[in-house]
Structure 1
């Protein structure tokens, strides 16, 4: 699909296609049994047709063996046939349910799969397709906005196990693990048509790493210079700072030209920060991709900040088209090569060892 450009590796294709299939069958179902019933209904459609044809053939054969007056014999045969079919349906349902469960488990555990270890560390699909043209009205044109929108959505490749939060509620709530977050739902939240804020979880591949800093984080004050210097040593000379839409959290984005394996780049950056005395998970500082989630950028309340944390623009003051153009403009101007970053960190680590 258009918004899934990151999933172009063979060992990812089968899993990604599976998520698409399951999305069509289990979309927006809130609990397990309904999901099974819905999935099994469509999966067994062909089997039902085949059983109907078999029943028709049985009726024809029965008619040729017995006279029309022999109703008792026919009814007896039909009762026996119904019992056999009932047993077959029950066994088939159990097998299908088991199959669906194993498939869904595979999707939900994708990031923990050993198959990921054999995947290529970096994937094609650079930022050349982005059309921002900030300062003019080009980004307002429907075709340009559609292209920018598709590119933005492609970066949110993991659509399962997302989180939601209503405006009046402070706590995030996990959606059903069967729920597939659609493009339409994301765009409703971005445009403000929905009162729901949305967050997503990391996928096996990523187009960015985000260092999050809570309101009381040390690195939001005097420590920001130290954090920037640490990143610059690793080759990250340009980053972009934003404020999350749902809170006062700062988000320092490191963009990549191509999709990079999330586990490799986060492990490398985390180790580098720790080596320089900056420990993710402490002092109000953390990193995404990781175990947690990230509030989807550009929702109402989102802010563009300068290097010192001063507000440049707020999402509430500009159109979605303009906000999307600004965000992708930042991405194009600040993107680094993910694999070069990993190699640079490894080289620095060896030199300091």
Structure 2
């Protein structure tokens, strides 16, 4: 089977599974908790490996990871409810402790097996084509089976409980009043995050799974305010990051997982700067246009109170503007057809007088 296809499809499945649950984490302001879970599942994996007698099995690892993820969520929420520490501090306390416990267990008791810290942290998606299972007489990449199943599971969860997830995300109080059990949905979502994290460990490692859980949904959040569109955009950003990241990694002979995470970060940067909804530069340009329009209307209203053209020097003195800003305001008003420049100064046009009259008329 083509190795490039295996790697690319594995990355797409990981990014898609992550985007489906990560979108709700971002909306619930729990993005850092996904980072905590993706690291804290390690002791659960180690425990499952020990209980299964050292067998390399995916199902026990998934169950152990889910248990560790739920323990992480419960401990974080318990610490937060005590009122002694804030939520972010509770996350910072719980996940390093659990992750360190897992690392110690690996280094002390499983030194000669496949559970090594480099694989957990970084993974190596380039090895995905070599990890295969025999399915109906054909060799199928294990990553396809695992991540394909998890992607389908996450998709079914979102589709079946979409209304409940949406309501409990934006108004958990109302969801509880309507009997939708937001607590059960919360722990179900965290369980799927745990499943997705451990399912992607062997292929991509903790760093890329955290990137795919947070960055594409955060990017989509900057681009839209509609939940279905946000989920679709998050999936799309993950797919683009997978394809472009792999192509750039091959071209530059760099880390595949690292390049995919870098491309996802670049997508977020572009959305942060240029998003029509929440883009930093877009918002600044919009505010600047609004500022100029308000100033232009104010200038025309001022000119409308004079029978003769008003010299620009008098306008500068009246409003306290600098010449550069006055020039921008004058051009804005001229483009709108509100004023004209004559030898004596500035005067409003008929259109400007009409606008000024409408602006100064009291509301009925």
**What range describes the TM-score normalised by the shorter chain of this pair?**
under 0.3
The structure whose residues are more often helix, as a share, is 2
The structure whose residues are more often strand, as a share, is 1
- When normalised by structure 1's length, the TM-score is 0.25
